[in-house]
A and B are shown apart, each in its own frame.
Chain A
Amino acid sequence: MIGMSDVYLFDEPTSGLSSKDSEHVMEIIRSMAHNKIVIVTIHQPSSKIFQMFHKAILLDKGGRLVFFGTPSDMLRYFAEAEHQHQFGAELGACPSCGTTRPEFIFDVLETPLRDLSGDIIYEENSRGQLVASRRYSPEFWRDKYEAFRLIQDVKQVSLRQEAAVCTLPVGAGTEKAAPISLAR
């Protein structure tokens, strides 16, 4: 009866813990993960913990999926986004430098909106608190990610088609191309 479950879900198992204790808890969770599906929510993981995961899901305000992939792909994606939009040098990362800090992802995601003189523009949130306005909304990031995913899918299909052309007599029918999902 022991070990019946195949899927484990942990909600914030490391909240309120020191970084060392968090790592310890994650080690234990990882040792359980062997051959199972384990999903862990973490508010903002440390770099070391972030790299322990095979995949990471990033949600933005309003429950929008803004990235799903390996931790290194996620860092690369946001480093490139920052580079593309020239978000300002103060974040200090470029695609070639290769940052490992997951905090960087949030810095890019929540890039503040600035006026001409460079001061951050503030707005009131639903609870009446003053918060920095965001330059890019959750919708922006969701759309950007969907476009990214679509391009990845198309790339994969064309790669497989190329492969299929080379090995047509053998490979025919064994592998189906991933369907392209046009969500919107």
Chain B
Amino acid sequence: MVGDEAVRTTAQLKDGDTIRIDVGQVLRCNFSERIIEEERNIIRTLEVNEVTHRFGKGEIGLEGISFSITRGELVCVMGASGSGKSTLLRVLAGQLQPTSGDVFLNGQSLYQNLDALKHYVSYMPQQDAFDEHLTIGENLLFAAAIRAPHLSRRDRTRRLDAKLVELGLGERRDAVVGSPEKQNAERWRAGNASTSDSI
């Protein structure tokens, strides 16, 4: 499998393409960094079991919610404001322990194994977590510096460049985030969870 297409003989590979070996094992072509990286994916299922959350004042955030999701699924949470969409996401992210019920990753309780499991989850909150006076490149470099202080500045910059190319933002790295082309800022935002977490 290359991307979403099954390949029998040969296929042309572009930067950022993925080659699927197994359900949980993928190779990602990262030619700008001159490497092919292996990605493994461990989490098969996410299960929410009777999750109820009440805020301090007795206000109900979530009431007895259960569902389960398997890998490869793209899921939308809809609802009017105040219906608990953000609360649900924070519970799934491991940031808000529900009053009762639990979240299970591969059948293991998220809140009982929070230290081990939280690394598998990336959460992009609603507030814009970037400085709109800085450029896209500067913002990401800043996020990377906080998350990966052990890497040298050169290493961080190199990884960043590769990620920007992958997101189609290569030529926009010096653009100020708050510039009129908000779409690109948003595209960056979409990529942020993967970039800043993984650099």
**Residues of A bordering B, CB below 8 Å:** 1-17, 21, 24-25, 28-30, 32-45, 49-50, 52-65, 68, 71, 102, 105-106, 110, 142, 181, 183
Contacts and interface: CB of A to CB of B under 8 A. Distances in A.
Interface stretch (B7-15, B120-128, B134-142): B120-128
Which of B18, B60, B61, B88 lies at the interface centre, i.e. has the most chain A CB atoms within 10 A of its CB? B88
A183 B34 CA distance: 54
A63 B76 contact: no
Given A42-B78, A57-B78, 10 more contacts: A1-B199, A3-B37, A8-B122, A13-B186, A33-B72, A35-B71, A35-B72, A56-B78, A57-B77, A65-B64
Contacts of A38: 73-75
B53 A36 contact: no
Contacts of B79: 43, 58-60
A64 B63 contact: yes
Given A5-B198, A28-B191, A59 B78 contact: yes
Interface residues of B, number: 73
Main secondary structure on A side of the interface with B = mixed
A63 B63 CA distance: 5
Contacts of A64: 63, 65, 83
A45 B78 contact: yes
A5 B120 contact: yes
Contact of B194 (A32, A68, A183): A32
A2 B4 contact: no
Interface string B147-188: 000000000000100110001000000000000001100110
B42 interface: yes
